[in-house]
Amino acid sequence: MATEGQNVCETTFTLREFVAEGGDRLRMEVVVGGAGLSHEVPEPMCNRPGLALTGFYGFFAWRRLQVIGQAEWAYLESLEPSVRLERVKALFDRGAYCLIFACGMQVPPGVAALAEQKGVVVCRTELLTRVFFHQAAFVLERLRAPKVRLYGTTVEVAGLGVMLEGKPGLGKSETALGLVKHGNALVADDLTCLRKDVANNALFASASPATRNYMEIRGIGIIHLPSVFGVTAVRAEKKLDLVITFKGMKDTEGELDRTGEERQTRTILGVEVPQITIPVSAGRDLVNLVETAAQQYKLLAAGHDAVKALDAQLCARAMQNAAGQV
């Protein structure tokens, strides 16, 4: 569930996006593509169509990516060439839209021609079948994960993913720039893309591909962070640990708990993320405050609560004073 104002992205994706996202990880090349690459992947899983190749089509998982390993191809090679093509054609006729040859196998010309005729995408990979299945699962999960875009600047601060949000003009980008100069790293400026890791119930932040590694600073303009501060000044992706909301000082009157005992959270895609509100006014050192907030959160996560520790200390002192008066 997304909160108000979130631009939730559709989680469907095409074969073209799968091939692009797989990149070097899947070591996959397209043999036959064309218009078939725009086909959406209805079920983000891989399937070995061994039974279907023998002629049994009950429960054939045509909605998945079909992977031909050594066992499947050894069986096909045992058939007459005409029968072999008939079995492959039967897969296409029953909805198969993508065929992936593993173990570095070459795609037979007859299969490639048939696939091109049927509009089916055919790929090949150097990876062993089991390795491809394992790696493809990560790629497919990433593509299918729920996603959302939020207006906010995300920075890695003291090892934590911290998103700075607030109205325009409150100094989010300037604060992020100051944090980078202190040795921290920018993840995304102004617009943060979040994806949900369903298995771990966590959120991961990244920048839009179009603006990655860039910042806009009022009065200076667009800057390229790696060129100015080096490659360590940016991160491609970071787990979101904390949301810091900037508000004008007048907008926080009567709202803030000055002790910090009350814990705020922000729900994004069903994940609760700790949230801190920092009042903004002239002269406040926002870089220092954000760094301190991140360190404070790390202590809380480690089990050290300054409010409870101080309360226990004051209670102990009061008991000592009371005992001394008796």
d(CA 149, CA 192): 6
Residue 326: pLDDT above 60?
Answer: no
**pLDDT tens digits, 110-141:** 999 999 999 999 999 999 999 999 999 999 99
Give per-residue burial for 161-195: e unless 16+ CB within 10 Å, then b: bbbbbbeeebbbbbbbbbbbeeebbbbbbbbbbbb
Residue 314, pLDDT score = 74
51-80: per-residue pLDDT in tens? 999 999 999 999 999 999 999 999 999 999
pLDDT at 325: 65
Q: Is 23 exposed, middle or buried (0-12, 13-18, 19+ CB in 10 A)?
A: exposed
How many whole angstroms separate alpha carbon 260 and alpha carbon 271?
A: 22
Mean pLDDT of 221-229: 94
Instruction: Tell me 37's DSSP state.
Output: G
Write out pLDDT tens, residues 20-46.
999 889 999 999 998 899 999 999 999
| pLDDT band, very low/low/confident/very high, at 1 (cuts 50, 70, 90) | very low
Structure tokens at 20: 């692009």
Q: What is the pLDDT of residues 158-206, one digit of tens each?
A: 999 999 999 988 999 999 999 999 999 999 999 999 999 988 999 999 9
Residue 251: the pLDDT is 72
Tell me the pLDDT tens digit for each residue of 242-285.
Answer: 999 999 888 777 666 665 667 789 999 999 999 999 999 888 89
Q: CA-CA distance, 151 to 164, in Å (whole number)?
A: 9
Give pTM, 2 decimals: 0.73
Is the confidence at residue 98, as pLDDT, over 50?
A: yes
Q: What is the pLDDT of residue 273?
A: 95
Q: Could you tell me the domains of the chain?
A: 12-144 (3.40.1390.20), 147-309 (3.40.50.300)
Q: For residue 171, give both structure tokens.
A: 């100094």
Q: Residue 6 pLDDT more than 60?
A: no
Give how far Cα 147 sits from Cα of 6, 8, 88, 192, Å.
10, 6, 36, 11
Beta bridge partners of 47: 66
Report the alpha-carbon distance of residue 92 to residue 44 in Å, rounded: 18
**pLDDT score of 198:** 85
Report pLDDT for 8: 55
* pLDDT tens profile 80-89: 999 999 999 9
List the structure tokens of 199.
Answer: 């298995």
Which pLDDT value is given to residue 112?
95
Task: Report the distance separating Cα 105 and Cα 67, nearest Å.
Answer: 12
Residue type, 87: R
